Structure formats: C-alpha cells, structure tokens
Structure 1
C-alpha cells in the first residue's frame, strides 16, 4: 500500500514542503531514499522502538521510504514523525483519509514521546501559503507556530496522541495565540534601564544619538568605567519593533532553535554579545548545514563586541560586507542561503593593554608604541564603518553615591522615536532606508548640506585635529541625526561641533 505524508525542510529562513512516500510490499528490507542524511537513515531504529513501546507494530515487510523532491538534501531528525505516520498508515494502523491535509513534523524518542524541532515558524508560514489545513508538531513548538493565522496548529506530546487523533479516538485542541496581543503586551519588557546608570551623561547622550540614527558606536575607556553596563541598556532606548520586524526576527531565532516553549514572538530587540574567542563561521553563519550566526541573531537589534581588539582579525574582517549590505549570503555547491543581518554594532575596548592610557588618575605602564600597536588590531575599513567613537571616563565617588535619579530609558526612547519618524518621512521614497546611518555618499551630499560657516568649521576641525578623510561623511551623518533630535531642518554649527567631538580615533596623535 502506498501512502503520502508531508513534512518540510528549512533553507535559510524559508521552508520547502517535502513529500514522504511510503510503499509496503512483499520482502523484508527497509529502504530510505531521496538524499537523506545519517540522522534520517537512523530514524528506522527510533521509529521501531517508539512504535513497539506504544503497542504498535513495525511492518515486517519491504518498506520503501522516498523523500521528494529527491534532488534536495534532507537533514535532521524532525522527519521521524512524518515517516512513522506514513509507515503506520501504509500498514493499516492509521486512517489515511486526512493525512494529506497536514504538515507533520517531530523527533521521536524511544518511548514514543516527541522532542522539539527547529524552524517551526517558517514551516507554518509555508504550510499556510500552500493551503494545508493544519500543522501537527511537538507540544514545545506549538506556541511558536500558532502565531500564523488561518492554520490549525496541534501540539502533541507523543505518537499515540497523533494516532488517536487521525483514528477519531481523540479530539485535539488547536493552539491559539493572539499575535497582536502577544506582540503589544511584551513590547517594552526590558530588564535594565538607563536610570540605573550613575553619571556618564555624555555617554548616554552619545548612545541616544546612535539609537536615533542607527549609527555604529565604539566605547573606549579603562576597566570598570561602565562600558558594558551602558551597552546592555541600548536596546531599551531603540524604537519598538514593528510587527513585521518581530516576525522576521522570530523566524531567524526559530531556525536557530533559540526560542523557548513559552515564547511565541521575539518582541524586544535582540542583544547578542559573543565571546572574543568566537569563530568567523559562528559570527556570520554557515557550516555544513548552514545556520544563522550571531550577526543574524542580532537582526533588528544590537551586536555587542566586548574587548574588540581581542577578537581575531579574520573574525572582524568578515563583518565588513554584512555591515554594508545588511544581509549575509552563504554559498554552497548546490544551494545558496540568505540571512538578514541589519544590526547596530556596539563595540567596547580598553585604550591600551594595561587599560589606563588617558586615565585621569592612574598612569599607563605600557611601553612606547604599544598603544598604537594595540589599536592597529582594528583595521581601518572596519573602523570606517563605526560612526561614533566615544571616550568613557570613570565615574567619581560623588556621582556613584548620589541619590539623584537618572533619566529613564522611556523618556530617551520617546526622543529617539521622534527623530526616527523624521528620518522615515525623509526617506519616504526608499522604504528600505529607515535611519541616517544607511545613507549612501550621494544621499549625504543631498540631505546633509551645511552652511559656509559650517564648512569652515569642519575644515578647521579636520586640519587642527588631524581628522582623516573618511571622517567627513561620518560627521555629516551624525550631525544630521543630532539635528533630527533637535527637530531642526538645517544642520547648525552646534550640531556639527558635537558630531566632530565623536571622532576620537581619527585624531592624529590620539594614541601617541
């Protein structure tokens, strides 16, 4: 008897429907074809044990399993339930009438219970697109898939529940998630707030500018000055995710298996902080079975690189293209996958190996030339993509012990949102642009015009401070953001002056 069931394969953040055909005929062997990997070939042993332990039987005849389309490689253990259902239907243990209306996915344990799968959300989206009635999957992934409307999502805990459901002995309740309620109720749930940071008002101002314009920022200062504490609070002042951004971010985390069973949507902007020993593949994504890397997991959020010079040079250099194009393309011989990676880069570093160069109280003990060598670990092309260079100084005792409450993130966020609204209106004809940091050089010339006095100020600053040529466009972009925060149509002299202040690492002689 021939039976068909349907599963799904995830490539990048998109899903492709897979047809699992099972034919039982005279013979004794078990064959599985259609480019399965080892995990799928081993499914025979998991399925046989699961069926036996749930008082079902594995047919003692020739069983041929074909996974179509046969020219696409199938990977992972999530097809266990798809194959087991088809085998049982072909052997007459399940009613097969309704099978073609459902996508069925899940990894089987030996006792017949189900383990969670990756990529439930893109699979559910594709199932709805192709007109399937429902999606049956492990209970742990049910909320994640249920945010897709017009699709019945059934979370099951064991293969026995699935068999009883198709045989009419059990009525399953479809998982229901109100997507908009889920989204709006958790939109501003941040564990940290800028009001917890004592002092550092100039650094908070720099991060407000960075958030308003989507600018990349690097914090330079001695140990214990608060660089990490400030960076971790940056997502709390970024504009809230839109529903489309939330869905796109959730798809990436779903594919990577980063969503917990309690999560249905990623509703706050991601904050990813990989260790400096991270490999280039772990950072940008890839591998034999391509997976999203840290920069894609930080999509629509913040990627924080602590102690930037300690990262391997090759790891930092692979970020250059994604920073410009805001997506990563991973190519293999037979296929290519794209992962979005539109993120804000926030980096921190000590100014020298000992950490106390330019410290107001402690003396740097690094030998001559060591500071410059330490900073040279960060290449010019990467530094060119960082708009704000911010020097962080230690907080004194009076500020630390003060009872004065600092400004809350919510108030800063309101100003950031207003500035972003101005930018969205400015880029109305370009829906792919939503922040000043994404402007091309041509757009900078058109939208960041300054007066003759401003040109003279910028010329003097570049000559006197020894600013590099690459600083010119960056200063204009940052000045445009500062003007937007002030709701000013024109870039004023004070906006330019403040933007010039944030180019520390471009100054000649900064590192001796």
Structure 2
C-alpha cells in the first residue's frame, strides 16, 4: 500500500499526547516532505532515516514521500520520530507488513548505521500510553527507564533491523521488565551524625523533614550550613511509588534520569549565577528548570542573596502552588514543582557580622542592603529561619556524637505517617481551610499565638505557616492538639525575618 500510519508520542510539558505518523508515497520527483509543525531536529530526520534504511539493507523508495505528524497544531521536536518515520516508509513501500503497526507505539532516534539511540521523556510517554493497550518499542537504554512505570508492555530494541524482524515475525523483541529498584533508604545519603554541634539547626532540620517545610540557614562561613542542607534528603521518609514516578518523569524530560536512582530524593544545588529560565524553566521549547527537577526532593540555594533578585522572586508562586506555568509567544507548558527549599546565607557581605573578633568591616548600610536582597514576600514563604552560629574550638575537637540520620528518619517517618492518615498530605501543603480543620489550638496556645502576631507583626501568610509548623512539632511529639510550647517553638523559627 502507499499509505502507512505509525503511532508515536510527542511531548508537551509533562504530558505526552499521541502523534500519528502518516507516510504517503506518490509518483513524481523523488523527495521527502515533513509537515505537522516539525522543528529543525525533526526535519533532519530525512537524512538520518535515508542513511539508516540504506545501511540496514532496505531500499529507499524513489518516490515523492510525504510525512504528516498529526495533530498538525502540536509542535514536534527531538529525534524521537526517526524510528516511526522509517517504519512508515518501509510499510508504505511494502517492505514490511503494516498489520502489526497498529498494536505498537514507537519512539527512537536513528544513527546513520541503523542503531537506536536513547531519547528524552521515555517515562513520561509510557505513563501517557497506559490506557491504549499497545506495546511500546523503545531503544534499550530508554526502555529500562520506561519499564519502571509498570503500566505498559515495553519492548527494547538496539537497531532498526531488530524492530523490523519483530514486526515480520522473524524475531522477537525482549520485553523490558521493571528492575528491582529497592534500595536501603538513606544508605547513600550523607549522615547527620557527621555534623558536630548545631543542636538547634539539627532540630529545625528534623522538623523541616517531618512536615516538608522550607528552611533558611543563616550564619558565618564554615559553620556547617551546606553540610546540614545535604543531610536533609537522608532524613525524609521513604519515597512513595507515585512520587517517585512523578519525579523520574520530570528528570526524564531533561535527559537526567538514571534507573539506578529511582526512589531517591533529587537534590539540586544550582550556582548563584543561574538564570531565571535555568531555575524555573523556559526556552522557546519550554523545558523544566531546577525547581521542577527537584520535584518531590530538595532544592538547595547556597548564598541565596547572591542570586539575581528577579530569579528569587520567580520562586514565590511555585512555593505556594507547587507548579510552574511557563508561557511563551508560541508555546505554553506546565511543570510540577513541589520542592522543599533549603537556603543558606551569610549575615553580611563579608560573612562575619557580629563576630566577637571584630573581623567584619561592613557598614550598617551594606548589611541592610545585603539582607534586603531577600524580599519580605519571599521570606514570608520560608517556614523555618535558623541561625547557625560559629562553633567554639572545643566543640570542633570533640568526636561527633550526634544522632545518626537513620534514628532521626525513624521519628520523621512516624510523624509523616500521622499527617498522611489525618489529612492525606504533609503539613506544609495544607490549605487555609484544612488548617482550620486539622490545627486545633489549646487556649494557652491560642493566646500565645495572638500575642506573637501583634509583637512580631506577622502577616496572614506567616500566621498560617506558624500554625502548620506548630502542627508538625506536635506531630513529632505525638500530641493531637497544638499546645503553647509547640507554638512558642514555631514562633522562634521566624525571628530572622524580624531581626
């Protein structure tokens, strides 16, 4: 027949809409025309497919070939359509039967020799194909990633010839099964026991892990702020399968997912020179930024005042909503961005403001200007704000005797389990209505909170965040009603913003 239809998928943000690759052969001067909003990478498939077919022993038809990527209004990008285009040409020219094409979906980039190369977004495509009942044929390395979804029969292929042999019944592609992704939770994370001293900061880190709260660590250089931040993923409870798949799908869009890291919390630490597009996502073809790559994990911003002010302000909406919507003239995309923010800063430009040795030479205006790089609205969205002071020499010389991450993680897991049973989410993600329902206060606690609102001039947002923080502290101590001591501790973690 002169017409063949091959099923594949595109990428539009995190969604993967179905794309029908229609190939038609007609008389006329030999040519290959691609229509359906293909970008440069897709247009270059004409030369890759021609060489791959010829080097695999197939004849490239001397016909007028038209390839339509439907729907026509969906932009198509990357080399994922090489394989379906090649199969469509072979089926339309009668070199392979087209009967088996309807039962499969295909994606893969072709080398000139006919080998299949990995593609981005394989996991997202397979998750979207779950209800179609078709098998998905992918390059071997991408198939291992996609098989983690466990929803579609994934077939792995190394070359175009292997795919054609499978379709003609002369061979069988191996089914890629989900590997045993179970790992000893926390075994590969840095241990909290390595951090000496800093009892208050460790306590704050435990609370942040238990309720998925954001945290700001402020102190002079070398006090352990970065060490503490890197220990947070090891304190978090085991990752659920649903969260792991969402996180892996976003990483797959950027080509950064590795199957051996499945169910590990992502830890992203971009440099302070990162642009707004790098942090929140963007580009002419929208790609996920660091906040989305940290989905269900930790985003660490070291030296946060050194980030561009406009970059930091772009974090405000995702911190509230857990999503980022990117709009460009021709493309819009939405990515999940439910990350746990950990930020670190020095008290002044030189880092030694308030040091007893008098090393700081910063003027009051320089200190004020440095701290003002963090706007009030952004600070309002950070639940815990902790001082990390310099340690005395005797504390540094003592052997590390703090609790190991595994011990703290046990308490965190119990507190998080209470939250999931009570409200189905971590405390940091409670809405205003849910706060009224799940954060009951004792009379003394209500009075103390009312006094704190007046004394510290807390905003409505800060009031609700103090309540959620107090709810987490009560959950760690297995108390059903929030008491005055829980409110008092939660209020103490907001003092940096007012100092």
TM-score > 0.5 by shorter chain: yes
State whether residues 467 and 506 of structure 1, in contact with CA within 8 Å, keep that contact through their aligned partners in structure 2: no
Pairwise mapping of residues 399-410 of structure 1 onto structure 2 (< 5 A)? 399-410=395-406
Residue of structure 2 equivalent to 1:415: 411
Cα distance in 2 for residues equivalent to 1:475 and 1:135: 48
Indicate the RMSD between aligned Cα atoms, in angstroms. 2.2
Structure 2 stretches of 5 or more lacking a match?
none
Q: Which residue of 1 aligns with 2:155?
A: 154
C-alpha displacement at 1:458, in angstroms?
Answer: 4.5
Gaps of 5+ in 1: none
Closer, same or farther in 2 for the Cα pair 1:358/1:447, shift >3 Å?
Answer: farther
Change (3 A) 1:362 1:423: farther
Match of 2:476 in 1: 485
Aligned residue in 2 for 1:62: 64
Q: Does 1:506 align with 2:493?
A: no
Q: For residue 435 of structure 1, report the CA deviation from its aligned partner.
A: 2.1
Out of 280, 283, 295, the position equivalent to 2:276 is 280
1:34 paired residue among 25, 36, 39: 36
Conserved 8 A contact 2:226-2:302: yes
Asked if structure 2 preserves the Cα contact closer than 8 Å seen for 1:145 and 1:264, the reply is: no
- Report deviation, 1:277: 1.2
Within 5 A, what are the aligned runs for 1:364-443?
364-427=360-423, 431=424, 434-443=425-434
Q: What secondary structure, in the 3-state scheme, does the structure 1 residue paired with 2:10 have?
A: strand
Structure 2 residue aligned with 1:126: 128
Runs of 4+ in structure 1 off by over 6 angstroms are: none
Q: Give the whole-Å Cα distance in 1 for the aligned partners of 2:374 and 2:298.
A: 20
> CA offsets, 1:51-80, max 9 Å, x none?
222332211121111111222221111101
Change (3 A) 1:472 1:36: closer
* SS, match of residue 353 in structure 2: coil
Q: CA deviation at 1:333?
A: 5.2
Q: Distance in 2 between matches of 1:167 and 1:488?
A: 66
8 Å Cα contact 2:286/2:332 also seen in 1: no
1:212 aligns with 2:210: yes
**TM-score normalised by L of structure 1:** 0.91
Q: In structure 2, what is the Cα distance between the partners aligned to 1:91 and 1:320?
A: 55
The answer for the alignment partner of 1:25 in structure 2 is 26
Secondary structure of the structure 2 residue equivalent to 1:346: strand
**Aligned residue for 2:222?**
224
Which residues in structure 2 correspond to 1:74-473 (within 5 Å)? 74-132=76-134, 134-149=135-150, 151-178=152-179, 181-182=180-181, 184-185=182-183, 187-260=185-258, 263=259, 266-332=262-328, 336-361=332-357, 363-427=359-423, 431=424, 434-458=425-449, 466=456, 468-469=458-459, 471-473=462-464
How many Å separate the matches in 2 of 1:455 and 1:51?
74
How far off its partner does 1:338 sit? 2.1
Distance 1:176 1:437, change over 3 A: closer
- CA distance in 2 between partners of 1:454 and 1:148 (Å): 46
Deviation at 1:140, TM superposition (A): 1.3
Question: Do the aligned partners of residues 461 and 361 (structure 1) sit closer, same or farther apart at CA in structure 2, a change above 3 Å counting?
Answer: farther
SS in 2 for 1:490: coil
Aligned pair count?
496
Structure 1: how far apart are the matches of 2:476 and 2:57?
Answer: 68
Larger deviation, residues 449-458 vs 123-132: 449-458
CA distance in 1, matches of 2:187, 2:68: 47
SS at match of 2:41: helix
Query: What secondary structure is seen at the aligned counterpart in 2 of 1:206?
Result: helix
CA positional deviation for 1:265 = 6.5
Question: Matched residues in 2 for 1:15 and 1:113: separation?
Answer: 24
Superimposed CA distance per residue, residues 106-127 of structure 1 (whole angstroms, 9 cap, x where no aligned partner): 1111222222101111222233
1:47 aligns to 2:49 (yes or no): yes
- Deviations, residues 302-334 of structure 1 (Å, cap 9, x unaligned): 111111101111111111111111111223456
Cα distance, 1:359–1:493 mapped onto 2, change above 3 Å: farther
C-alpha contact (below 8 Å) 2:186/2:235 kept by paired residues:
no
Q: Is the 8 A contact 2:446 2:484 kept in 1?
A: no
> What residue number does 1:475 align with?
466
1:469, distance to aligned residue in structure 2 (A): 4.2
Task: Name the CA distance, whole Å, in 2 between partners of 1:440 and 1:165.
Answer: 52
